[in-house]
Amino acid sequence: MSLQIVRDLRASGIAQVIVLFKPGVLAGRASEALVSLGKHFVSSELSQDGALARASGKTGGPPPPMRYFEHLGIALGTVDRRGYAALRADRARVERVLSAPVLSLIRPRNITAAALRTRVTWGIRFLDVPALWAGGVTGKGVLVGHLDTGADGRHPALRGAIAAFTEFDEFGREVRPSSKPYDTDEHGTHTAATIAGRKVGGRSVGVAPGARLASAIVIEGGNAVARVLGGMDWAVGQGVRVLSMSLGFRGYIEDFFPITRILRERNILPVFAVGNEGPGTSRSPGNYAAALSVGAVDEEGAIADFSSSQRFKRKKDSIVPDLAAPGVGVISAKPGGGWQAMDGTSMATPHVAGVAALLFQARPDATADQVERAIFRSCTRGPGVPPERGNRGIPHAPRALHELQRMR
């Protein structure tokens, strides 16, 4: 039983929940099962969707009380005490009923104007990525999921980089027809270009300039859980090999763990930022063993003061982050054109997602677990970096490729 659901029911009489189904329940007669299960969900003026509908004044009202995400195989909706009890009692079809914790963007710790004066950014050089480019490994043919504030497709670094784009409204409904790629903030353009930015004027900010992005606006504002789940479901349907997300919720909340596990089952590598709240803290889902979690280092290889890290009482991956990557003074694309530098684990995460895209091009038959293992084996921890802060250390792109090529 989820304590958060119990608290929500006690406070308002309703709760937003995520429902995991037993294997095979929705096969063949999925619509019939969903109609039957849908009776346990309720519409309520007290729900976030109800409040959003009243505040926006939009016609049509909120979405149905239950939404099904076909590629993830889960449902999200609002229940009262009776509906919650009924779902938990339906042991033939329902595996678990989870709370729906509120996700938020992992905001940069610092943003400054910048000029791109070097051939490659320091982060690309630090990971020795150009050595793979020289061998023709640029991420070509690999699709990377990018769930963020969007991405400015008009920026020269992102022209031709975005294969698919969509946005999810405040209720988590996909906006149709999909708009042209744009950014509701500036965070998404920065992270997108770090993953797959194209060369501009002979200079590069993108780790995997041959890869393409499936980018979606999922944050901030509105029903964030519905928006992020909608984005994840859409990205899985697009066929991504890697999913880069610089968002989460503070602390360890295990209710979202099954979603991360589902990504693994779909052979997708989830690369998540660990957070910017410093030692002894972390963000979920980045702090799950099923995620590849990323902390931040500066140009000297030192762990950034803000980079989150935490030890857990579990046998597997007891320390987060799994590794650290360039996340201080990272120059990347700015919406509307030009460049800017940002600090944060949000900036480190797309570096690792880009390296994963390079490896998937080199070994298209590789599994997500194999690519992760190769990246881990390539890591070295510099002197003076305690394992509690940097864990495995900093990845090295050519060594990761060598490790992957050895796997069969």
Q: Are residues 199 and 268 in the same domain?
A: yes
Look up the pTM and report it.
0.95
Q: Are residues 269 and 329 in the same domain?
A: yes
- Residue 107: the pLDDT is 95
Q: Are residues 108 and 204 in the same domain?
A: yes
The rounded distance, in Å, linking the Cα atoms of 143 and 208 is 10
Residue 59, pLDDT above cutoff 80:
no
Q: pLDDT tens digits, residue range 191-205?
A: 999 999 999 999 999
Q: Are residues 360 and 238 in the same domain?
A: yes
Q: Give me the residue label for tokens 């990845």.
A: 395
CATH code (residue 210): 3.40.50.200
End residue of a domain, out of 83, 99, 115: 99
Q: pLDDT tens digits, residue range 68-113?
A: 999 999 999 999 999 999 999 999 999 999 999 889 999 999 999 9
End residue of a domain, out of 99, 117, 149: 99
Q: pLDDT tens digits, residue range 235-257?
A: 999 999 999 999 999 999 999 99
Residue 50, pLDDT above cutoff 60:
yes
Q: pLDDT tens digits, residue range 127-160?
A: 999 999 999 999 999 999 999 999 999 999 999 9
- Residue 33: the pLDDT is 80
Residues 6+ apart with CB under 8 A from 371: 269, 356, 359, 360, 363, 404
End residue of a domain, out of 55, 79, 99: 99
Q: Are residues 51 and 126 in the same domain?
A: no
- What is the rounded (10 degree) CA torsion for 326, 109, 233, 192? -50
Is there a contact between 216 and 200 (Cβ–Cβ < 8 Å)?
Answer: no
Which one is predicted more confidently, 27 or 46? 46
Q: Are residues 293 and 355 in the same domain?
A: yes
Q: Are residues 17 and 153 in the same domain?
A: no
Residue span of the structural domain in which 60 resides = 3-99
Q: Are residues 85 and 118 in the same domain?
A: no
Q: Which residues are annotated as catalytic?
A: 148, 187, 346
Mean of per-residue pLDDT scores for the chain: 94
Q: Are residues 77 and 128 in the same domain?
A: no
**What's the pLDDT band for 232 if we cut at 50, 70, 90?**
very high
- Looking at the chain, how many residues does it have? 408
Q: Are residues 266 and 179 in the same domain?
A: yes
Q: Are residues 246 and 117 in the same domain?
A: yes
Residue 60, pLDDT above cutoff 70:
no
- Mean of the pLDDT values across residues 371-394? 94
Number of domains into which the chain is organized: 2
**What's the pLDDT band for 333 if we cut at 50, 70, 90?**
very high
Q: Are residues 231 and 95 in the same domain?
A: no
Is there a contact between 354 and 206 (Cβ–Cβ < 8 Å)?
Answer: yes
